[in-house]
Structure 1
Amino acid sequence: MKRLISLIPETLEKGLTRANPLVARALWHVRHPTRRGVTKACAGLALLFVLYVLILIPFTPGIGDIRKAKIEQPAQILSADGKLLAEFKPSNREWVKLKDISPNVVNALIATEDHRFYQHFGLDWRRTASAALHTFSGDRQGGSTITQQLARNLYPDEIGRAPTLTRKLKEAITAFKIEALYTKDEILETYLNTVPFLYNAYGIEMAARTYFDKSASELNVLESATLAGMLKGNSYYNPVLNPGRALQRRNIVLAQMVKYGKLTPAAYETLKRRPLRIDFERQTEPPGPAPHFAQQLRKWLAAWADRNDYNLYSDGLVVRTTIDSRLQTMATQAVILQGNQLQGIANAAWGSRAACASGKDLLQTFLRETPDFRAAKDAGLTDDDALKRVSSDRSLVQSVCESKTRVQADFLAMDPRNGQIKAWVGSRDFSQDPFDHVQQARRQPGSTFKPFVYAAAFEAGAKPTDTFVDQPVEIQLTGGEIWRPGDEDEPSERPISLRDGLAFSRNRITAQLMQTVGPNKVARLARAMGVRDSTLEAVPSLALGTSPVTLKEMVSAYGTIANLGGYVEPVMVTRIEDRKGEVLAEFAPAPPQQELSADAARTLVDVMRDVVNRGTGSAIRGRFGVRGDVAGKTGTTQGNADGWFILIHPQLVAGAWVGFNDSRVTLRSDYWGQGAHSALPIVGDFFQRAQRSKLVDTRVKFATEQQPGWFAERSARLREWFEHLLPSPSTVKPEAPVTVRNTTRRAPVATASSERASEGASSDAAASASVESQALPPLLPAPVATSASASAPAFASEPVHGEARGTGTPASAPTPTPDDVVPPDAVNAEAQKSGGNTSP
């Protein structure tokens, strides 16, 4: 091996020695050229050039259809009932035929870009040679024909973008291919429909709409010359940002039209003096009936297409979604109607500059967050001087007020049986606020989180009749802070059942129940039931909804309740087809995962029925007349910053949130700020419309009848058999529960609109929270103790900091419902017999 290596230098030296005479002779011919030698050299160079071109041909684009932008089929998004929801296009383009384009456009284009277009076959040799000479002399010029430009526009990746000889050769070869296969009119039509014009406007039709608010067929000479002039450099000759340059370029185009006989000199002299008349408006794709849903679906579908080697924008995919276009329309109308009403209230509180200025500290905070304030600070002003400057700008102050005080709302409906999303409204107006509040906004859920606490309790063995005493609650937290959850009214020192605690959203009762069950267990259960993306802080105040979540998570979790404990992941798509209708993929609903025991779920549904029958959500029945078996929960956060309501039905779960993008802004109303009056009307309106349209069957009911177990069933039969054989005269029937009825007013207190804001305490729960609750009806009878020391239910629990249990009697008498109105005499007689209290 060493010998071979040592021979390499010797071999190279011998080779150079032998080649030296040949090299010397070649150099001599270069210094002393002859005609024959020059001819041979030129022929050799030409041969090399031809060989290089032949080598490049396989690396140039294969010409299938240059009008592929016309035949490309974007993905179509269809609703479950076959309505078009959206089309996913790569660019904003509308194809028009050449005969539907103004002749002024064609004349201006050819006169400026390629006046021998109809004479050449893709490459204008004279223009190319002229451009080369100017480039070599230092004055770089373009020599591309319209066909070459089309080749570059259609195949930028295959041809390349670098200003090299190879790129120009590929461009010329592709142009020859195009000219060989297509007519001049086809080339012109394709070029005019694919050329970009800034502002996401592709093609002459979108350019005409963007810059002149008219169709391409209506463009006059001046407008056509302006658009043709942009082709030399869209940004440089942008008529919106650079009107002076655009005007100068337009007149050059007009002069070219005169030069090649497309315009008379007299007309040119008149037209060149006219100013630019731009009627600019960005062209946006229509949002469609479910824009936020489509926005989220695009992300999912793009990933699916990449994994399965499909093009989202050209393969003609047909995506069949779970959205019901009828329910989607109803949801959108409900959000707009309630949003507009609440906006009027917000405008009265914040809309004027004076009203906005009444929140002086908050307004100053907003102004300090503006770019104008930062610019003033960067200019060297002090904080106070910068604030004075921006505060004196009335238009700025008004703009800040309007943007900060715009009411937002979102809505989501899904089928709890299969997880199919039926309606999705991410904001009041997609064009003004494309931010999707359904999936992206995380806000405190308030009392809509309470059902998870009760679910954990029922799963641990608690009964709806178990009670806690309505008394002051103080819970010591890690770090030594004391959390004191409160309600609208003062503690009554009376026992309140779990059923009434949830129906009337009693915070002190829920806080005590949370201590009994344990925050960790509640957090785990809520995650299992559907709150799977947001972080839940396992602290006592979690019972009142202090951990921010999304509406999608909450509706999904309530779907688990409606599905009697079976969690089904929300789905958006049922099937994907190709352009021929052949099924590419199907997405069957996932089987339910039993995350909450069926018995606990049945109990929870039954208790949540009372929320809408006589509790904080009673407007669902009274105002909106929603029939059928429904249950739900209201929610309001600290300072009325967020209003929530979620309603469940065996076939449909629907939820809404209302608030502001900035949680520091509220409606400034203890009435309208409550979820029962801000969010509930959206859901109520939606359900009312859905039931009237027979899209929700009011006859369907939850299967909440508790089925006795094997042992209990046989024990009951055995007991009946013994009682039949051995009847006892001393057997005393248990006294029936006393029902107290309202003698002083027609409408029971349960329908009063006194829901209060809640659970706004931060996760550290250091401060006392003013939480959502509704006062219990004053018609509850005085408790009758059954033992000297009645206590809270003793069911499974987890140790927590400051855990405590309330005391009280086993149960309280049922609260009257709207139909429980009887004559006063009957009430008085019943009360006297039972010792009840009939005072209001």
Structure 2
Amino acid sequence: MAQKNNSQSKGTTPARDVKYYSNKFWRLFLYTLGGIFLFFLFASWGLFGAMPSFEDLENPDSNLATEIISSDGVTLGKFYNENRTAIKYKDLPKSLVDALVSTEDERFYEHSGIDARRTFGAALKLGKDGGASTITQQLAKNLFHGEGSKFLPFRIVQKAKEWIIAIRLERQYTKQEIIALYLNQVDFVNGAVGIRSASKVYFSKEPRDLNVEESALLVGMLTNPSRFNPNRFPERAIKRRNIVLGQLVRNNHLEESAKLILEKKPIKLDFHPESHLDGTATYFREYLRDYMKKWVKENKKPDGEEYDIYGDGLKIYTTIDSKIQEHAEEAVLAHMKNLQEEFWIQQKGNKNAPFISITPEETDKIIKQAMKNSERWRILKADDKSDEEIIASFSVKTKMTVFTWKGERDTVMTPLDSIRYYKHFLQSGLMSMEPQTGQVKAWVGGINYKYFQYDHVGQGARQVGSTFKPFVYATAIEQLGMSPCDTIIDGPFVIRKGRHNVTEDWEPRNSDQKYRGMVRLTKALAQSINTVSAKLIDKTGPEAVVALTHKLGVTSDIPAQPAIALGAVDITVHDMVAAYSTFANQGVYIKPQFISRIEDKNGAVIYEPIPESHDVLNKDIAFAVIKLLEGVTEGGSGERLRTQGGGNGDKRWTGYPYMFTNSIAGKTGTTQNQSDGWFIGMVPNLVTGVWVGCEDRSARFKSITYGQGATAALPIWGYFMKKCYEDPDLQISKDKFEKPENMSIKIDCYTGGGYSKPKDTTAVDSLSNEQQNTEEFDL
């Protein structure tokens, strides 16, 4: 009896045991449930790390590339930290969306961010068959917290945050928007971030143009882009692509018979990795980048912050026409390849090649300066190497890849030899512009941006030679009341010491060392007669010519010296084209414009430039200069534009059958010792300037035959315009320049109806002053 009482005192009845454990279970369950609730609540509050706000979800930081777009809607390039350009769901092909959902998240349209069935299954298998992340969860991870830690407690916290963000994203966006956001975020390697970049890099097409097998290939990369990179591992990529095709069949988006055909197809890539160093308009894009760096400091966001040209997803709509740009680049490369071949030939036997007529000391100075400007010098200097150690390193042979006109070449040479090698290369600059709008249509700053990054359009000012003479003639017409039909004596001429601040007697000579006697201004400019230009500037004064040249938009410092009449002044291609455009635009200068508008990532216009313009000359004077310049292509140094070939009887130059018959105004220019060759040509709606020369002025052709502007630069203009005329969509004018009504300046020198070259110009130009009924200026 006592024993029973002891049992009852120590234990409980079975009913009480059940109640006790039941209470304990439910208490534990509620505590666990409460703990989980509090865990997720605290996570949502950000106690375990920052969570995205409503504003963050509304405007996720996508680090979008800035896109550079041509006037005809072609993407010229991008500025980016990550090469990502966002697109909308409507621009995605159905095959791509179906492949993504079928492979990554079959119940995507059924869940609200978390697939409970997949999550429970993954938990039972302890994740051995992979995770259960939905597309929305993957988007949450990509947008807001990345890969994170592999340490289990931290991973649990990160997974909880991922679930919370996924649910919020589902509330914030439609299913279609989530798919677009996800595909815009994915890194496809090879510099392709986002589906648009991937489509352009791997297939050179827009996403909407992807076919089924291409869509499957890109979706297959999502599991591990590096492992299934089709450019490096095509066999792996094919196997993975075929798995995706199988998923399309499983989800009734593709017939089995079609899958059997597609999975046998090889991968056909059109692989073009996007780089700042490659592609179209590389020199222009770099010029634009420098411009935008200044622009963002002067044009702030509404909140006062600066725009980020590498991450804010701006769209810069430029005035560049992709077709005109393509023709310009093709023209430069075609001619420069031929010209460079001749340059190599002429340098054979030159012990100081490519330099001519300079001392060893001057050569050494050029080479040493190139060494100090090199990347090698900068890097070694940063490593605290002495100048002596750095100089010694330039004489050690090393493996390198060098530029050639037949493609890149792997070789072994000393860095010192590579400097001299690159000094041999002729460079070129070309800019094309609409004179009525100021819109720049083409910009070619050199022959290869990867190897030669100095821009010879907007950056490099070079001596302009005879292309400066139209500014002298325009000043004479304006200041002295002259006309293209007036005559002047081509004979020996001296400006004495002290006149126009000349420090010693200056006696200009004609390039052919000949004098022609009485000549009209039309012939004087067509034949680029130096003595006539010198006489005109002596009469007007250098100051007047300098003032007019600056009004024409030239920003270079120009000395008020008579020698500028022959082009002894450095000016950029950019400024020369703008100045000549003023003549074609009836005397109104318009500043070159290369941006039409800038939009933010949402498509709102944030900048639209206003063209800058001012009157320089009246219409009559501008047209008179045009008529003078037409004479250059009718009977002067630009006459070969009317002929069958490029000149010099060399078979390499016969590929330039111009045979232009339309109105062309232009001027060649050649500087002392053939260091610079120029041609600036105009038709009514397009002005194009071309410069050719070596980086160093002492590297040049031995003779004027190939170094003159008519041979070095004019063929590029001719080839370029020929290609433009063959493209009728460009609508490049073949009309005559518009003649002002009631012209007050005499321009019809030979007939009553406009300029026409006589059969015997020598006879006409030899007429007496009385016979020509024209005033002679005794200067």
1:457 to 444, 464, 476: 476
Q: How far off its partner does 1:548 sit?
A: 1.6
C-alpha distance in structure 2 between counterparts of 1:490 and 1:562, whole Å: 33
**Selected match of 1:77 from 55, 65, 69:** 69
Aligned residue identity for 1:293 = F
Q: What's the offset of the Cα at 1:689?
A: 3.2
Instruction: Indicate if the aligned counterparts of 2:584 and 2:737 stay in contact, CA closer than 8 A.
Output: no
In the alignment, which residue of structure 2 is the partner of 1:615?
636
Structure 1 residue runs of 5 or longer lacking an equivalent are 1-47, 106-116, 128-145, 161-165, 229-280, 713-738, 743-747, 749-776, 794-806, 809-840
The 3-state SS of whatever aligns with 2:69 is strand
Equivalent in 324, 330, 333 of residue 333 of structure 1: 330
2:669 is matched with 635
Please report how far the alpha carbon of residue 381 of structure 1 lies from its aligned counterpart in structure 2 after TM superposition: 6.4
In the alignment, structure 1 residue 177 sits paired with structure 2 residue 174: no
1:290 corresponds to which of 275, 281, 285: 281
**Which whole-Å deviations, capped at 9, do the CAs of 1:134-190 have from their partners, x for residues lacking one?**
xxxxxxxxxxxx999997974589x99xxxxx9x9999857753477579xx99999
Structure 1 residue 662 and structure 2 residue 684: aligned? Answer: no
Q: What amino acid sits opposite 1:284 in the alignment?
A: E
Q: Does 1:523 align with 2:546?
A: yes
Contact 1:72 1:315 in 2 (8 A): yes
Compute the displacement of 1:524 (Å).
1.2
What is the CA distance between 1:656 and its match in structure 2?
A: 0.8
Q: Does 1:492 align with 2:515?
A: yes
| Distance of 2:291 and 2:57 partners within structure 1 | 30
1:95-110 to 2 correspondences below 5 Å:
none
Q: TM-score, normalised by structure 2?
A: 0.61
Counterpart secondary structure, 1:460: helix
> Of the two, which has the highest radius of gyration?
1
Q: Which residue identity does 1:557 align to in structure 2?
A: A
CA contact (8 A) 1:411 1:656 kept: yes
Code of the residue aligned with 1:513 in structure 2: it is L
**Structure 1: distance between partners of 2:377 and 2:602:** 58
What CA distance in whole angstroms lies between the structure 1 residues aligned with 2:323 and 2:394?
Answer: 50
Letter in 1 for 2:713: A
Distance in 2 (alpha carbons) for counterparts of 1:699 and 1:207: 45
Contact 1:529 1:596 in 2 (8 A): no
Query: Alpha carbons of 1:378 and 1:470: their partners in 2 closer, same or farther (altered >3 Å)?
Result: farther
Q: Secondary structure at the match of 1:662?
A: coil
Task: List runs of 5+ in structure 2 lacking aligned partners.
Answer: 1-37, 105-115, 127-134, 149-153, 202-213, 228-270, 399-411, 645-657, 747-756
Q: Distance in 1 between matches of 2:742 and 2:196?
A: 66
The structural deviation recorded for 1:690 is 3.1
What amino acid sits opposite 2:469 in the alignment?
K
Give 1:525 shift.
0.7
Q: State the distance in 2 between where 1:483 and 1:640 align.
A: 21
1:519 positional shift: 1.6
Q: Which of 540, 560, 573 is equivalent to 2:582?
A: 560
CA 170–740 in structure 1, closer or farther in 2 if over 3 Å, else same:
closer
Give the total of aligned pairs: 609
CA shift digits 1:499-522 (9 cap, x unpaired): 332221122221222121122211
% of aligned pairs identical? 29
Q: Distance in 2 between matches of 1:407 and 1:439?
A: 18
Structure 2 residue 430 is matched with structure 1 residue 411: yes
1:674 Cα deviation from its structure 2 partner:
0.5
Task: Label 1:315 to 1:387 Cα distance change in 2 as closer, same or farther (>3 A).
Answer: closer
Please say if 1:534 is aligned against 2:556: yes
Alignment of 1:33-72 (within 5 A): 56=46, 60-62=52-54
1:373-407 deviations in Å (ceiling 9; x for gaps)? 9989977969999998789x955455223311222
Mapping for residues 594-605 of structure 1, pairs under 5 Å: 594-605=615-626
Within a 5 Å distance, the mapping from 1:733-812 to structure 2 comes to 781=766, 793=777, 807=778
Match of 1:467 in 2: 488
- AA of the residue aligned to 1:336: L
Q: Work out the CA distance in 2 between the residues paired with 1:197 and 1:325.
A: 27
Closer, same or farther: CA 378–783 of 1 in aligned 2, 3 Å = farther
Amino acid at match of 2:331: A
Other-structure match for 2:686: 652
Aligned equivalents of 2:387, 2:291: Cα separation in 1: 48
Counterpart Cα distance in 2 of 1:601 and 1:394: 54
Per-residue deviation, residues 434-483 of structure 1 (Å, max 9, x unmatched): 44322122111111111111111110124231414421424536583444
* 1:347-370 CA-partner distances (Å, limit 9, x unpaired): 223489978388683664454343
| 1:476 corresponding residue in structure 2 | 497
Whole-angstrom distance in 2 between the partners of 1:358 and 1:574: 43
Alpha carbons of structure 1 residues 385 and 507: separation in structure 2 relative to 1, 3 Å: same
CA shift, 1:791, in A, is 10
Distance of 2:145 and 2:563 partners within structure 1: 59
From the superposition, tell whether residues 364 and 118 of structure 1 become closer, same or farther in structure 2 (CA, over 3 Å): farther
* Mapping 1:293-308, distance limit 5 Å: 293-298=284-289, 303=295, 306-307=299-300
2:466 maps to a residue whose letter is S
Give the equivalent residue in structure 2 for 1:699: 735
Partner of 1:647, secondary structure, is: strand
Q: Matches of 1:502 and 1:198 in 2, distance apart?
A: 58
- Counterpart of 1:671, as a letter, is T
Partners of 1:322 and 1:480 lie apart in 2 by 46
2:527 to 504, 510, 513: 504
Rounded to whole Å, the distance in 1 between the matches of 2:352 and 2:690 is 28
